[in-house]
Structure 1
Amino acid sequence: MSKSVAYKHLVRALSLWPKDRLRPDCQLQDILLARAKKTFVPVSSAIGAPAPAINERAELENANALYSLLDNRYALRYQPRKNLLMRPASNPDHYNDIIEEIDAAPTRGMFGRIKNRLSGLLRFS
């Protein structure tokens, strides 16, 4: 039995999906791949009931939505004016600081983590 076209597209789109650095133990692609396997792989039943029909068109639309998110189609089409969303007037570097912190966290040693925790507790203004 060959896999359907929609299943192949979903698996390919999920293989291209970036890993979540903030929550490495809970990945979106793992959850969606488990859903795709549950949908497309028929469960053999002892009763012999036929497997439920798969809406191939809807699954292809889901795969197309994943591809469009991967290509940043919506971010490019609906750009906020002058990128004001990512640079608020009150703290323009807020999101850049968060991204730098997430990038630095996996390589930080034990003393670096303790230093950051203590500096977060003690704030001098």
Structure 2
Amino acid sequence: MSGAARSAAANHFRGALARWPKDPLRPECQLQDILAKRLEKGKLAPVTAGAKQEQADIKQANALYSLLEDRYKNKVCAFWHLQGTCAEANLAQYRPAAKIFEPQSNPTYYKDLVKELEEAPTRSWLQRLGKRLSGIVRMG
């Protein structure tokens, strides 16, 4: 492969990074920024024995797209669709039971966790400090 193939891999990688969602919990540390720095250095992926850098870069970009598009979930749906069976019925067997999301020791644990993750990015520094201190007092 040539420099053109390498450039194609870099463009492919940039396209995936442009579509990647922002992390509201850590706005100062985004995956896009870290991978863009890696792209500037020229090596997107470490080279394994017998592979060329260009091939490794393209594989890395394709892996990023597969995560972005959730291809693994879609492959399961496509498999059941090709079988001609009801996809919902077959996918239901892979869904975890509802009781897993409501542990007996703390039935609202996961609901509280989601609520906390949604509220955290909008807290002021004083609210964050108060949360941290209340956690320290509780643990102590």
TM-score, structure 2 as length reference: 0.58
- Residue correspondences, number: 110
Matched with 1:11 is: 14
Greater RCO (Cα-Cα under 8 Å, separation 6 or more):
1
Give the whole-Å Cα distance in 2 for the aligned partners of 1:114 and 1:35.
Answer: 34
Structure number having the greater helix percentage: 2
Tell me how far apart the structure 2 counterparts of residues 108 and 7 of structure 1 sit (CA, whole Å). 37
Aligned to 1:60: 58
Gaps of 5+ in 1: 41-53
**Shift in Å at residue 62 of structure 1?**
0.8
Deviation, 1:59, is 1.0
Which stretch shows the higher mean deviation, 56-65 or 73-82?
Answer: 73-82
Q: Which residue of 1 aligns with 2:28?
A: 25
SS in 2 for 1:63: helix
Q: CA deviation at 1:122?
A: 5.2
In 2, Cα distance between equivalents of 1:94 and 1:69: 27
Distance in 2 (CA, whole Å) between partners of 1:68 and 1:28 is: 16
Q: CA RMSD in A?
A: 3.4
TM-score (norm 1): 0.63
Structure 1 vs Structure 2: percent identity of aligned residues?
Answer: 43
